[in-house]
Structure 1
């Protein structure tokens, strides 16, 4: 592991590929083509990795409110985690994607929300892994049975009413994690309405990594959030509560533990 416990390097993971206390999860996904991640996984993945799908596993079905990717039902997700050999609060879970942590961070956040802090994302994702010369396979690992009894940290997540009531309070900052042009409402490729929640400041999630998907140094993560450090509560959102988790990861790497996820995010906000 490197200087913070939230990220592992390809070198570290390669050295621990056969460690029975490590479970690797492939989280690749494409919003434009929801089947793509699973297909890519079936073609090639890090040896021993299991696949969890953003729509099928890491979200629950869409309804009128709650946004495009409502949080999964805790016990349903817990069952799926147990079926890939994750032992609650014991196993180290390493999540990876190929989208600069966009989907791996969702699993990172969800595990911690369920009370399992022993989770990290793979620095550089699958591309970084392959560029370092490490192997991939198309062999699907057999399910292993773990035991996973979630202990929800409800205080980590906020809903529409909470955001509406507290967003203008002096010790709360609302952070929009989308690209600048979506925040400003100049472009909206997914949701019915463009713009942002009144009072939100913009910290695009892509700023957490470099163009190759490697985490920027801890000092840069600290610098990035410096202005918000005195805030008692940082409420983070994006389009649907997925890429906001990249910013929540960045906050923790910076040593700021006041971040909370507005799970429904912009897609929920505009449904009210």
Structure 2
């Protein structure tokens, strides 16, 4: 199973016009929350609608729950429907390149029970490099009704994560860079390090030397040290960069993969929680 679509395949599908396809632009910049929408308004793939990480794909952050809590399901479903997406719509979502925001959208639809959603390999840049047209026109979609079929088995909460070091049937992954995992640097939060017991698998390692998504064989090799019979709990800083790893693990044949949505930013919001700075990946 792959959740990646190449530009050539998308072009063929759009040309053949045999499927109900909606394109989603999910470009975003953590350091400049308005940049993604501005980029979309300047130029995007013709027919694409825009979903914003903070306005559409997250709810407002509170004392706990992390920096990008999951959005309200009813609100998100309503936005999907207004943008022409229902359960029978093929959805292709793209980033600027191969970034973390399109996978966040992919995961949310996966969580809502949608079975036909793909991330465009190489994103908007690959589309442009292929000589395909762009536009500033904002499309108006025929509204549909998206009926969510939430899959609660795709997430874990803070209570589960608190007990994970004693749970021999589950493994916690930290998807951030090695330097952030080890506490050598921390650009976003007041505490540096990782959740005790977490193993480091940097999310960008799902990409090959050319910056494209790895194939299944390469992903299986990458995650070879993990037991496919165990639950794999994936975290990051706030539940965004964890999602490329979730896609990759599922493509590599892992069946029991779940997101800890609050991730590290939720964990450190509790003063009583310890953090680690040693490498626990090979333990």
TM-score using structure 1 length: 0.95
Q: 2: distance between equivalents of 1:230 and 1:222? A: 10
Contact persistence 1:168–1:199 (CA under 8 A): no
CA 1:122–1:25 in structure 2 vs 1: closer, same or farther (change >3 Å)? same
1:216 equivalent to 2:214? Answer yes
Secondary structure, aligned partner of 2:269: coil
Aligned match of 1:116: 114
Aligned match of 1:52: 51
- Matched positions, count: 268
Aligned match of 2:184: 186
Contact persistence 1:23–1:85 (CA under 8 A): yes
1:232 equivalent to 2:230? Answer yes
1:127 to 122, 125, 132: 125
Aligned match of 1:33: 32
1:253 equivalent to 2:244? Answer no
Aligned ranges 1:81-92 → 2 under 5 Å: 81-88=80-87, 90-92=88-90
Aligned match of 1:155: 153
Contact persistence 1:125–1:213 (CA under 8 A): no
Aligned match of 1:195: 193
Contact persistence 1:17–1:47 (CA under 8 A): no
Contact persistence 2:97–2:124 (CA under 8 A): no
Q: Which range moved further: 136-145 or 205-214?
A: 205-214
Query: 1:165: how far off?
Result: 1.6
1:16 equivalent to 2:18? Answer no
Query: 1:169: how far off?
Result: 1.4
Secondary structure, aligned partner of 2:84: coil
Query: 1:113: how far off?
Result: 0.5
Q: Which runs of 5+ in 2 are unaligned?
A: 271-283
CA 1:124–1:157 in structure 2 vs 1: closer, same or farther (change >3 Å)? same
Contact persistence 1:47–1:136 (CA under 8 A): yes
Encode CA deviations 1:212-267: one digit per residue, 9 max, x unaligned. Answer: 54101221101111111344200000000001000000001111121100000000
Aligned match of 1:62: 61
Q: Which runs of 5+ in 1 are unaligned?
A: none
Contact persistence 1:172–1:231 (CA under 8 A): no
Contact persistence 1:157–1:261 (CA under 8 A): yes
CA 1:15–1:31 in structure 2 vs 1: closer, same or farther (change >3 Å)? same
Q: 2: distance between equivalents of 1:14 and 1:48? A: 13
CA 1:28–1:212 in structure 2 vs 1: closer, same or farther (change >3 Å)? farther
Query: 1:211: how far off?
Result: 5.5
Aligned match of 1:93: 91
Encode CA deviations 1:60-118: one digit per residue, 9 max, x unaligned. Answer: 00111000000000110000000111122x11110100242400000110001011121
Query: 1:209: how far off?
Result: 1.2
Aligned ranges 1:159-178 → 2 under 5 Å: 159-178=157-176
Q: 2: distance between equivalents of 1:231 and 1:174? A: 14
TM-score using structure 2 length: 0.92
Query: 1:146: how far off?
Result: 1.2
Aligned match of 2:274: none
Secondary structure, aligned partner of 1:194: coil
